[in-house]
Amino acid sequence: MRSLRIFKQSFVALAMTLAAGHTMTQNTASAQQVTPAAVADPFLWLEDVDGQRSMDWVHRENARSLPVLENDRRYPALLQSALQVAQNRDRLPLGGIQHGYLYNFWQDESHVRGIWRRATVASYAAGDPEWQTLLDVDALASTEHANWVWEGADCDPSGARCMVSLSNGGLDAITRREFDIASRSFVANGFVIPEAKSRMTWIDHDTLLVATNWGEGSLTPSGYPFILRRWRRGTPLSSAQDYVRGAQSDVGITPFDVTDTDGSHHVFIDHNVTFFESTIQVMTASGPRELTLPRKANFNGLYRGRLIVTLLQEWRIAGHTYANGELVAIPLNTATRAAPTIEEIYTPGPRQSIEGVAITRDAVLVAGFDNVRGRLQRFALNGNAWSGAPVALPQTGVINIVSADSRDSHAFATYEDFLTPQTLYSLDDKAATARNVRALTAQFDATPYVVEQFEAVSRDDTHVPYFVVHRRDMQLNGQNPTLLYAYGGFQLSQTPSYSGYIGRLWLDQGGVYVLANIRGGGEFGPAWHDAGLKTHRQVIYDDFYAVERNLVARHITDPRHLGISGRSNGGLLMGVMLNQHPEMVHAAVVGSPLIDMLRYDQMLAGASWVGEYGSPSVPEERAFLEQISPYQNLRHRDDFPLVFIYTSTKDDRVHPGHARKYAARLEELGIPFLYYENTDGGHQATANLREAGRRRALEYMYLAQRLMD
């Protein structure tokens, strides 16, 4: 469904969620450009995504590595458990609310690609949803002989028509097709946006704003569109008229629409100047007008004529200073003035954060953390004054607002922790009280386990929290098989969440699970993330090393029994830690990783991430990247562990060339490794539930071999 909460984080989620606007073929060509870094790179040919030579290499590595894991006598049982988790029907059907319905996308063993469906909010809140199937993606793929993967839907203000997004095998590039809800069919001669990493929104039933690949010169260096055009029904897309243009030096441009609590519809345009900085315009009868906002802010939506905004930087305006991380309201009718009216709603403390904001007809809901433990608050405007109160929910895990609509008093939230399955709550009484609607059945017996939270002290004396999930009777003998996971980037917090995979494939096999809340995430607000930006990134790696050492100091594990895991930006974390401290671990899962940090900005969406990592074209930032880039700093060491690397051929977000070149460099140095490249599946390296289960089984089989044998 159309997003009803617009965050600047939505672009971060596009971060690492949408990617460049090039097709894979275009990026393959660009990968062959000769640069100084490329001249010295003997494995540049592995960036040729679908080339015969590179695919022969992929098939050879898969054929060599997979039998090592799949021929283990324990693997069939692990795979069976993983598939049971992946295909478990006992999952909460979550989704978005619009016009009295909750829309949900559902997958199971009978619907591998999935079905898009809806139920009335009333039946859903009662715990007995009456589902109406709208689109069967399995049937569609079969009829059209296509490898369709569901990517969502954006609906017009009336809810009658939606632009359904489908990708080929999990690519970030999507095809958008107009779908009629009443007839449950695609609209004949309706709107169609061909495959691209496009952005769009509805102005009205007959008009779209579209940013897409318009041809040569229409994309930014990041590969995102920067030209926004107005497209009228009944005309070809090529005839769409320019509405506004960003700068080609920007990251991209994103139109979005928001409905206020009175039902009024508003269209905005987000100019993504850098990855974390934007300017936002509002569409008016006289043309777009820029909102007065700091460049780093999350626009969450509209409530009673007010923009609800989370500040991601300190904001000094009209003689007043507003805190980094603060939640404010700005009346829309003042929002384009040089000095708009600003109302303060809530300011988190130094060990608190705002994770999500949602708007109902009656209130602004704020989910966040207090020392990485979830909480939910409700704020409302009484006259001209804002007042807030907590919503009573458990506070030892994570709370997510999963459904809300500015035209509806209903909202829904979930709670979970490491040992408590996800539980759905209906937020009743104008979202002031929480009522348990349904709790999932446990996927493993949590009785033997306990969760503890500790802190490690990093090199600069920063206290870094981490969670340990282990058996109650765990012996502090320093020999417990332990898996340490972290991410450390893009202000994405790592939460104490329930996972059947971790429970059944790791804890039940005798393992200990650790989640580290290192800097780079958002667990303590924007400042926790900002501390590790660009040339300051070493603090992230120091934090992770501090947690590794603290686990050993507490006699939970030792380097022989410690494994680490991360994917995407977390794969970069793995690569750096393996170079800086290989002696600390005996296993590492390196998933869909960023590895070549001197070329990352030339590969797929990489140029959009220079706000996070710094640019190889800026001398000071390049000098730092040269120090930490896993690919260039890889050296033969006798204490380097055998690693497991995985990626996907169809990952058009983080180029599979990163993982391939890393593996090739390891081979060149005579360092053993295991490698798996799924030829389907996009950035998640899985295109369906069966592949999701298989990937987890491979990971935990590898970890068992390395840490338990």
pLDDT of residue 15: 36
pLDDT of residue 23: 29
Among residues 367, 491, 530, the alpha carbon closest in space to that of 5 is found at: 367
State the pTM of this model.
0.87
Identify the three-state secondary structure at position 523. Answer: coil
The continuous run of DSSP H or E covering 456 comes out as strand 449-457
Q: How confident is the model at residue 275 (pLDDT cuts 50, 70, 90)?
A: confident
Among residues 353, 373, 371, the alpha carbon closest in space to that of 416 is found at: 373
pLDDT of residue 685: 47
Among residues 328, 386, 327, 330, the alpha carbon closest in space to that of 352 is found at: 327
Sequence-distant (6+) residues with CB within 8 A of 577 are 541, 544, 545, 548, 564, 584, 585, 588
pLDDT of residue 689: 79
Q: How confident is the model at residue 680 (pLDDT cuts 50, 70, 90)?
A: low
As a whole-number percent, the residues of the chain with pLDDT over 70 amount to 93
pLDDT of residue 9: 37
CA distance 700 to 78: 8
CA distance 13 to 301: 17
Cα–Cα distances in Å, from 281 out to 269, 335, 342? 5, 10, 18
User: Is the pLDDT assigned to residue 48 strictly greater than 80?
Assistant: yes
Q: How confident is the model at residue 687 (pLDDT cuts 50, 70, 90)?
A: low
User: Is the pLDDT assigned to residue 31 strictly greater than 60?
Assistant: no
Give the pLDDT mean for 257-286.
95
- The number of residues in the chain equals 709
Is residue 574 within 8 Å of 628, Cβ to Cβ?
no
User: Is the pLDDT assigned to residue 480 strictly greater than 90?
Assistant: yes
| pLDDT tens-digit readout, 559-582 | 999 999 999 999 999 999 999 999
As a whole-number percent, the residues of the chain with pLDDT over 90 amount to 87
pLDDT of residue 88: 87
pLDDT of residue 108: 86
User: Is the pLDDT assigned to residue 16 strictly greater than 60?
Assistant: no
pLDDT of residue 222: 80
| pLDDT tens-digit readout, 100-151 | 999 999 998 889 899 999 999 999 999 999 999 999 999 999 999 999 999 9
| pLDDT tens-digit readout, 315-337 | 999 999 999 999 999 999 999 99
pLDDT of residue 683: 52
User: Is the pLDDT assigned to residue 230 strictly greater than 60?
Assistant: yes
The active-site residue out of 10, 165, 568, 648 is 568
**Does the annotation count 683 as an active-site position?**
yes
Q: How confident is the model at residue 194 (pLDDT cuts 50, 70, 90)?
A: very high
User: Is the pLDDT assigned to residue 406 strictly greater than 50?
Assistant: yes
Give the pLDDT mean for 356-371.
97
Give the pLDDT mean for 452-465.
98
pLDDT of residue 409: 95
Give the pLDDT mean for 672-699.
81
Given its phi and psi angles, is residue 399 left (phi above 0), alpha (psi -120 to 50 degrees) or beta? Answer: beta
Sequence-distant (6+) residues with CB within 8 A of 271 are 246, 250, 253, 278, 279, 280, 281
The continuous run of DSSP H or E covering 265 comes out as strand 265-272
Among residues 251, 160, 234, the alpha carbon closest in space to that of 199 is found at: 251
User: Looking at domain 42-71+448-707, which CATH architecture does it have?
Assistant: 3-Layer(aba) Sandwich (3.40)
The active-site residue out of 22, 410, 529, 683 is 683
Among residues 520, 522, 489, the alpha carbon closest in space to that of 298 is found at: 522
Cα–Cα distances in Å, from 487 out to 90, 513, 516, 551? 28, 15, 8, 18
Other CB atoms within 10 Å distance of the CB of residue 336: 14
Sequence-distant (6+) residues with CB within 8 A of 703 are 481, 483, 506, 511, 563, 565, 587, 589
Sequence-distant (6+) residues with CB within 8 A of 635 are 579, 669
Give the pLDDT mean for 396-406.
96
Q: Which long-range contacts (CB under 8 A, 24 or more apart) does 235-239 make?
A: 237/192, 237/193, 237/194, 237/210, 237/212
User: Is the pLDDT assigned to residue 557 strictly greater than 70?
Assistant: yes
User: Is the pLDDT assigned to residue 71 strictly greater than 50?
Assistant: yes
| pLDDT tens-digit readout, 138-189 | 999 999 999 999 999 999 999 999 999 999 987 778 999 999 999 999 999 9
Mean predicted lDDT score pLDDT of the chain: 92
Q: How confident is the model at residue 82 (pLDDT cuts 50, 70, 90)?
A: very high
pLDDT of residue 661: 98
Give the pLDDT mean for 241-257.
94
